Structure 1
Amino acid sequence: MSLKRLLLGAALAGVMASAAMGTALAADLIAIITPSHDNPFFKAEAQGAEVKAKALGYDTLVLVHDDDANKQSQLIDTAIARGAKAIILDNAGAAATVAAVQKAKDAGVPSFLIDREINVAGIAVAQIVSNNYQGAQAGAQEFVRLMGEKGNYVELVGREADTNAGIRSKGYHDVIDDYPDLKMVARQSANWSQTEAYSKMETILQANPDIKGVISGNDTMAMGAIAALQAAGRKDVIVVGFDGSNDVRDSIKQGGIKATVLQPAYLQAQTAVEQADTYIKTKKGPAQEKQLMDCVLITPDNAGKLETFALAN
């Protein structure tokens, strides 16, 4: 046998051995699809998933659906066509995403959902989400304390199509509504948007100049609210957010926003990739499809430990 054939045979044997040991080959691809990276939360998800996937030996395809279900469906088509071994997805709507995830499953591409769940079980391999109700209750309890259990307040709500918006709002009200001297004078959706929250807060403030607090469904809207309040010279209004972004961390440290609730975006994304890796190699999914990760209240006491949606030990 020639030396060339011996070397070729050895190389082929090495590839087969690597595959047998479950090592990801360079051609193995994981698609990571999230809302716009303009929101630092979604950017952190994408970064966390990409870092973990590359560490495990995968190529990555990072895509953005901009909360557009039609675009999301097209991106999943792209992932399928590119031969993705798995999809990590922060979806574009609890109901609107079901068909797209089913399409991927039918094509043999498993989906691992993060942050937002869908309203059908059994088509995604995993749905790894923050315990939004627990986190909202923690945020609401701090809000009540900061408000001194009384005063007029405003609630800014996220996108109505997003399950998390409703869960967080319910968690807030299951605490705040027990205090009769806390009166909600306005409740509006700002669709998770800082710009929209700024505009809505300006309008609300004109109609309700006596407000004492704002509780927000996410940090991006909280940043819009605090900017509008500061522009109006209202540094006395208490603002509480939800997410644990670096922007809100810095605002808390500077005495602006008073508190937020950390949901571990980076860890969720990395956990999803780890579970995808296990599934690719063994065809075994997690023990439970829906997995909840508890949230952590962030105040001036621990804000200094917060970095990129993770809390240092």
Structure 2
Amino acid sequence: MKITPFSSAFAALVLSLSFLGCSPKSDEADSKPEVALVMKSLANEFFQTMSKGAEDHAANNTESYSLIVNGIKNETDLGQQLNLVEQMVARGVDAIVIAPADSKALIPALKRATDAGVLVINIDNRLDKTAATQAGLNAPFVGPDNRAGAKAAASVLTEQLQSGDQVAIIEGVPTAFNGQQRRLGFEDALKESGAKIVSVQAGNWEMAKANTIAASLLTAHPNLKAILCANDSMALGAVAAIQAAGRTEVKVVGFDNISAIQPMIADGRVLATADQHGDQLAVYGIEAALAILAGEQAPADRTTAVDVISK
């Protein structure tokens, strides 16, 4: 497995986007809506795919809107994501489509955005409903049912388990709603099967951290049968640890269906993953924003498809 380090090119991209965000809209751009896509880490292939899908959609609809794509350095860089939101508001964008790195921490900044007249659409990771309501933030959610998707992916594993088999979970960022829901979905499937959950640890969506956790799990639990990972980047880290330990009987389940995981599905190193169609997820949010900007009533939350991918 090849692990590509965070590159200077990516750093330059983030920096250039930050400078772009500080510039006011041009007069030429005032005639059509300007939409800002604010994602999590562009070092994660899932968000690279999301970015590409959004850029392709914008390129095919240049007469309808213009798009600014922003991302942060890593999954937990909340300060940078807050800065990006503030930059987009200062620029005067018409809408922000955001995949928040944290389900609560972004809410005050997003409320300030809506107070400034910016439409906010929440994608991928749902904002905390109670906290949003208390803050007076109305941001429609467009995205998958992560709990159902994780349960469906884990069910491919549970068909091969016996009651009492030992399984571990590597979850994402514990304060992220989608991470919480994926963990719960895994737990739903495992509890129904009678499997024993021996450990739940946070990998923060990161390959390297998941690799370290998986290596420790394999040492601590010699009878471990499987590791369920809340995204495919962490599944890649778990697979590397399993290969290094010579424990190829340990099965892995992921979530996202990134391209790097697909050969591992084919050869059995990963048993299953959940495809939430990352190339279209931002597009769904952008289309919802454009419809509202065009005068349509703000829609109720929209649940998008999740499909299980296995050999």
TM value normalised by structure 2: 0.83
Check conservation: 2:37, 2:282, Cα contact below 8 A: no
- Structure 2 CA distance for partners of 1:205 and 1:236, relative to 1, 3 Å: same
Structure 1 residue 266 displacement after superposition: 1.9
SS class of match (1:212): strand
CA distance in 1, matches of 2:157, 2:268: 15
Q: Please, which of 105, 119, 125 is the counterpart of residue 116 of structure 1?
A: 125
- Structure 2 CA distance for partners of 1:259 and 1:153, relative to 1, 3 Å: same
Q: After superposing the two structures, state which structure 1 stretch, 26-35 or 236-245, moved more.
A: 26-35
Partner of 2:276: 263
Partner of 1:37: 42
Structure 1 residue 203 displacement after superposition: 1.2
CA distance in 2, matches of 1:109, 1:283: 16
Matched, 1:53 2:58: yes
CA distance in 2, matches of 1:212, 1:134: 22
CA distance in 1, matches of 2:139, 2:224: 45
Measured against aligned partners, the alpha-carbon deviations of 1:35-62 in whole angstroms (never above 9, x if no partner) come to 1111111112222222223322233221
CA distance in 1, matches of 2:160, 2:236: 18
Partner of 2:204: 191
Structure 1 residue 26 displacement after superposition: 6.5
Residue type at the aligned position of 1:226? V
Identical aligned residues as a percent:
29
Q: Please, which of 297, 301, 307 is the counterpart of residue 308 of structure 2?
A: 297
Check conservation: 1:261, 1:298, Cα contact below 8 A: yes
Q: Which runs of 4+ in 1 moved over 4 A?
A: 24-27
Structure 1 residue 165 displacement after superposition: 1.5
Structure 1 residue 196 displacement after superposition: 0.3
**Unaligned 5+ residue runs, structure 2?**
1-28
CA distance in 2, matches of 1:244, 1:101: 29
CA distance in 2, matches of 1:68, 1:292: 27
Please show how residues 158-237 of structure 1 align to structure 2 within 5 Å. 158-180=172-194, 182-237=195-250
| RMSD (Å) for aligned C-alpha atoms | 1.8
Residue type at the aligned position of 2:40? P
SS class of match (1:133): helix
Partner of 1:105: 114
CA distance in 1, matches of 2:158, 2:52: 35
**Unaligned 5+ residue runs, structure 1?**
1-23, 301-313
- Structure 2 CA distance for partners of 1:291 and 1:283, relative to 1, 3 Å: closer
CA distance in 2, matches of 1:280, 1:291: 17
Partner of 1:134: 148
Structure 1 residue 163 displacement after superposition: 0.7
Check conservation: 2:162, 2:193, Cα contact below 8 A: no
Structure 1 residue 124 displacement after superposition: 4.0
Partner of 1:146: 160
SS class of match (1:242): coil
- Structure 2 CA distance for partners of 1:149 and 1:143, relative to 1, 3 Å: farther
CA distance in 2, matches of 1:224, 1:26: 47
Residue type at the aligned position of 2:81? Q
Measured against aligned partners, the alpha-carbon deviations of 1:72-105 in whole angstroms (never above 9, x if no partner) come to 2211121112221111111121110111110110
Please show how residues 64-83 of structure 1 align to structure 2 within 5 Å. 64-65=71-72, 66=74, 67-83=76-92
Between Structure 1 and Structure 2, whose CA radius of gyration is higher? 1
Check conservation: 2:156, 2:271, Cα contact below 8 A: no
- Structure 2 CA distance for partners of 1:298 and 1:150, relative to 1, 3 Å: farther
Measured against aligned partners, the alpha-carbon deviations of 1:282-309 in whole angstroms (never above 9, x if no partner) come to 25322x0x22123111111xxxxxxxxx
Check conservation: 1:53, 1:273, Cα contact below 8 A: no
Residue type at the aligned position of 2:285? A
CA distance in 1, matches of 2:267, 2:189: 27
SS class of match (2:148): helix
How many residues align? The count is: 274
CA distance in 1, matches of 2:140, 2:216: 41
Partner of 2:8: none
Please show how residues 18-37 of structure 1 align to structure 2 within 5 Å. 28-37=33-42
